[in-house]
Amino acid sequence: MSEGIVTDDAPGTSRPDVARIATIAVAAFLSLLGAIRWGVHAETLVVIFTICTLVVISRHDFERRIIPNRIVVPAWIAVLLAQLALYPHHWVEWLVGSFGAGLFFLAVVLAYPAGMGMGDVKLALLIGAALGYAVVSALFLGTLAAGLVAAVMLFKEGSSARKRAIPLGPFLAGGAIVVLLFL
């Protein structure tokens, strides 16, 4: 074997983490779309940061069925502070968008705790901070997409699909990314 070549069966090595590579590729592609859409402005950095964070959170939610606090809470604070710094005259929009979305999802969690987790509430805070009043569109799109997937599952699998859980975070993140890139 030549030096510098690592094989899959060499001790202590493993195959490249395909999910990690896919996450990076998706985040890079969507960030490029965000940079093209928003141009060379300060808010473009907020958009790119938000997109990358949402992609990483989606991967975690798909794999582990959890939205990690160590990612979503600092991202929410960073995005909210950045929005307030960039657009201080829109402070009401950022706060109402963030806390309004978070409170709405908190009410849903309190009404039906088995249906959603607190990670989704914190994700709503982040999406609200990034989008302001447009959070309503993003959450509607994400919830609609999740509902369509659930309907397809019910159609294919029947009533047994009611006991299967699907992660809501990636759908909410997808709705937010659609709003950031296209609306």
Helix (H), strand (E) counts: the chain = 7, 0
Is residue 41 classed as helix, strand or coil in its secondary structure? coil
pLDDT of amino acid 179 = 98
What are 61-107's pLDDT values in tens digits?
Answer: 999 999 999 999 999 999 999 999 999 999 999 999 999 999 999 99
Is residue 179 classed as helix, strand or coil in its secondary structure? helix
Residue 109 makes CB contacts below 8 A (sequence gap 6+) with 115, 116, 117, 118, 120, 121
Buried residues in 111-141 as b, exposed as e (16+ CB within 10 A) = eeeeebbebbbbbbbbbbbbbbebbbebbeb
**Percent of the chain at pLDDT above 90?**
83
Q: Under a CB-based contact definition with an 8 Å cutoff, are residues 35 and 48 in contact? A: yes
pLDDT of amino acid 122 = 98
Instruction: Output the CA angle 26-29-34, nearest 5 degrees.
Output: 120
pLDDT of amino acid 11 = 52
* Residue-averaged pLDDT of the chain: 91
Q: Under a CB-based contact definition with an 8 Å cutoff, are residues 47 and 34 in contact? A: yes
Least confidently predicted of 3-12, 151-160, 169-178: 3-12
Tell me which residue of 136, 131, 142 sits closest to 166, measured CA to CA: 142
**Residue 7 clears pLDDT 50, i.e. is over it:** no
Confidence of residue 2 (pLDDT cuts 50, 70, 90): very low
Can you tell me the distance from the alpha carbon of 18 to that of 175, in angstroms, rounded to the nearest whole number? Answer: 24
For the chain, the helix, strand and coil percentages under 3-state DSSP, each to the nearest 5: 80, 0, 20
